[in-house]
Amino acid sequence: MNRYNANEHNGNNSIKDFGEMRELCAHVGEKQLRIFLQQGFFRHAPSAGTLHEHKYCEIHVVFDGSMSFLIEDEKITVNAGQGIIIPKGEYHRRIPDFPEETKICAFQIDMYAKSVSVENLDGICALLQNEIELYNRTGKSVSLSNVLGLVCSYFYKGVVSPLKFVDDRDFIIYEFFANNYDKNVSLSDIAAQLGLSEKQAERLIIKSTGMSFRRQIVTKRIEYAYMLVKNEGISLARAAERVGYQSYSGFWKALQSYEAERAKKSSEA
């Protein structure tokens, strides 16, 4: 994408060239949005604009200074660190009374907006500037797309990703064993988290892991003990304590059972 030179577009006689516009996809929650990067997208000094409107909503981000707009006969000022969204079809223009230090960027987005809205963008402005500079240097747009999605999320009024309790039981089972192998847990603990009876939970654990609750706990403890010995260089006895065994003899018995089971599976394969 070419850099935008504001001086090239001053005055009403300049013909705007849209051949260098670029389109990105960004996500706001579960919504995938089309973003159109205009010639004025890069951080630049604004120029006075003629009265116009757009096919899509337009977002202006003010990095430094301030910028005033005339929108449907109403003057609205946007200060540094803020952004404004102008709904599609709304006639507007930039008012040429901005401070010398004013720097902005603008883009269109295929998103519904009922009315004009000015939002404080907090630290997103600095992040956006960094990603614009990174894009200029490398041409990589993935991070830029993500940050633009964050900017748009400040203006999005719909509920696109409602928070809900996790109902993926395979996920709950995996996380339970991965995070509780070193604790004194029982089948009733995971059954409560799954919202099932112990009998139902045991059947689901076997279906998910191929093992009973007790066998899965033992397997995780042995696997993590081996990892601790390998990664931290500690003794097997110390690793046994770290994974929840009160006595080394109990750990050793479990280890022998684990190795026997693994050898059996290996021979059957």
What's the pLDDT tens digit per position in 50-62? 888 999 999 999 9
Given a cut of 80, is residue 162 above it in pLDDT? no
Torsion angle, alpha carbons of 190, 192, 198, 204, to 10: -60
Token pair of 229, please? 């010995």
Residue owning tokens 């990603």: 131
The per-residue pLDDT for 165 is 80
pLDDT, tens only, 78-107: 999 999 999 999 999 999 888 999 999 999
CATH assignment, 6-153: 2.60.120.10
Tell me the pTM: 0.66
Give the confidence band of 200 by pLDDT, cuts at 50, 70, 90: very high
Q: What are phi and psi of 154, to 5 degrees?
A: -70, -25
- 178, 191, 224 from 187: Cα distances, Å: 15, 6, 20
Token pair of 142, please? 């993935």
User: Are 6-153 and 169-261 the same fold in CATH?
Assistant: no
The per-residue pLDDT for 43 is 84
221 vs 122 pLDDT, higher one = 221
Give the confidence band of 5 by pLDDT, cuts at 50, 70, 90: very low
The residue type found at 80 is A
Average pLDDT over residues 193-212: 96
pLDDT, tens only, 238-254: 999 999 999 999 999 99
User: Which CATH number applies to 169-261: 1.10.10.10, 3.40.920.10, 1.10.3720.10, 1.10.10.60?
Assistant: 1.10.10.60
Domain ranges in the chain are 6-153, 169-261
The per-residue pLDDT for 161 is 63
54 contacts: CB under 8 Å, gap ≥ 6: 86, 88, 89, 108
Token pair of 27, please? 């996500």
The per-residue pLDDT for 44 is 86
Given a cut of 50, is residue 2 above it in pLDDT? no
Closest among 19, 64, 71, 27 to 44, alpha carbons compared? 64
The per-residue pLDDT for 1 is 38
The residue type found at 25 is C
Given a cut of 60, is residue 7 above it in pLDDT? no
Question: Is residue 74 a contact partner of residue 95, using CB atoms and an 8 Å limit?
Answer: no
**In the Cβ-directed half-sphere of 191, how many Cα atoms lie within 13 Å?**
13
Chain center to CA of 87: 25
